[in-house]
Amino acid sequence: MSSFFLLIFLIIIQPWSIKHIQAQKNIFILAGQSNMAGRGGVTNDTKTSVTTWDGVVPPECNPSSSILKLNAHLKWVEAHEPLHQDIDMLKTNGIGPGMVFANFVLKKNSQLGLVGLVPCAIGGTNISEWEKGKVLYNHMMKRVKASLNDGGSVRALLWFQGESDTVSLRDAQSYQTRVHKFFIDVRDDLQSPLLPIIQVALATGLGPYIEIVRQAQMSIDLLNLKTVDAKGLPLQPDGLHLSTPAQINLGKIMADAFLQFIPSSSHIYHNVSSISNEATSSIGISSCVSHIYMLPLFITFLTMMSQTFL
């Protein structure tokens, strides 16, 4: 008789589980400065100093009903370029890596479902401004927590920053300690100690100490941190910002880096889920795994029922 009740329970729970999986958003945090916000196709009129975006959206950056973004009002909307337009409001935004990343991840892994982008990058900012407790950090965390309100899980932090920390030797030398602390703080606050992080090693900088910051980025030793290199990608005429073709390249490289986390990540997520709290955890994969795991059980009970009642 108890198996009968279990069966009823499974019948009730199973369609809910499947619906739950479909509604799961794969959330990505996009943070850093201008090259993450996106300046591809943005030019500066040398006479008037007016910056404009050329409005060119390559197919790799096209919108899709599977790619959402959390807008400045903390609402999910269909994402389109320029992704950071309502976030990095004081600057002219163009093409960044975010849309390419999302399109490419979905192309390579069509079972993933929905991608939810949370743009947080602000042009011209230095690593000290991203320190836990300061405005940019709080703004980002507020947005991430809001993004989790109607389900989903944070899959990765995408980080491209440091150009502003190449001006003074002291800042460049402090970069590693500061960015390391930033990554740890984000993981702590999301209660996701192994949250995948994909950081971009600088292509350019505002000052002379680019190599010091790059070295700092390359030598951070954290589990589940992948560093991809933007050095050598084509730049806008300003010599500071990645061009649209460069951003397309970068978005794909970042997507590849993220996809490397997927095959082996179910164990990692499983462990993380046991110590995360429901609201802010990255339990996406493990919850899918556990629901799918119930399916054979469900079928067995269906078979049992048909034998009992027919």
Ligand X SMILES: *[C@@H]1O[C@H](CO)[C@@H](O)[C@H](O)[C@H]1NC(C)=O
* Interacting residues with ligand X (CB under 6 A): 44, 46, 49, 51, 126, 128-129, 171, 238, 267, 271
- Residue appearing with tokens 């980080």: 159
Identity of the residue numbered 186: V
State the minimum distance, in angstroms, from the CB of residue 150 to ligand X.
29
**Nearest to ligand X of 50, 77 (CB atom):** 50
Residue type, 224: N
Phi, psi of 179 (to 5 degrees): -75, -35
Handedness of CA 295, 300, 304, 307 (dihedral sign): positive
**Cβ of residue 272: shortest distance to ligand X, in angstroms?**
9
Residue 216 near residue 190, CB atoms below 8 Å: no
Closest CA to 25 of 89, 83, 77, 93: 77
Residue 188 CA to residue 184 CA, distance in Å, equals 6
Least distance from ligand X to the Cβ atom of residue 290, Å: 14
* CA proximity to 113, closest of 14, 219, 24: 24
The least CB distance from residue 223 to ligand X, in Å, is 8
Q: How would you class 55 by CB atoms within 10 Å of its CB: exposed for 0-12, middle for 13-18, buried for 19 or more?
A: exposed
150/211 with CB nearer ligand X: 211
Is the distance from CB of 156 to CB of 261 less than 8 angstroms?
Answer: yes
How far is 77 from 93, CA to CA, in rounded Å?
18
DSSP letter assigned to residue 9: H
Name which of 53 and 76 has its Cβ closer to ligand X. 53
Q: Which is nearer to ligand X, 75 or 134 (CB)?
A: 134
282 residue type, one letter: S
CB of 170 to ligand X, least distance (A): 8
How deeply is 264 buried, as exposed, middle or buried, from its count of CB atoms within 10 A (0-12, 13-18, 19+)?
Answer: exposed
Q: Which residue has the tokens 């500061």?
A: 178
For ligand X, the closer of residues 156 and 253 by Cβ is: 156
Q: Please identify, using beta-carbon distances, which residue of 64 and 128 lies nearer to ligand X.
A: 128
C-alpha dihedral (214, 219, 225, 230), degrees to nearest 10: 20
Distance, in Å, from the CA atom of 282 to the CA atom of 263, rounded to the nearest integer, reads 16
Give min distance, CB of 54 to ligand X, in A: 15
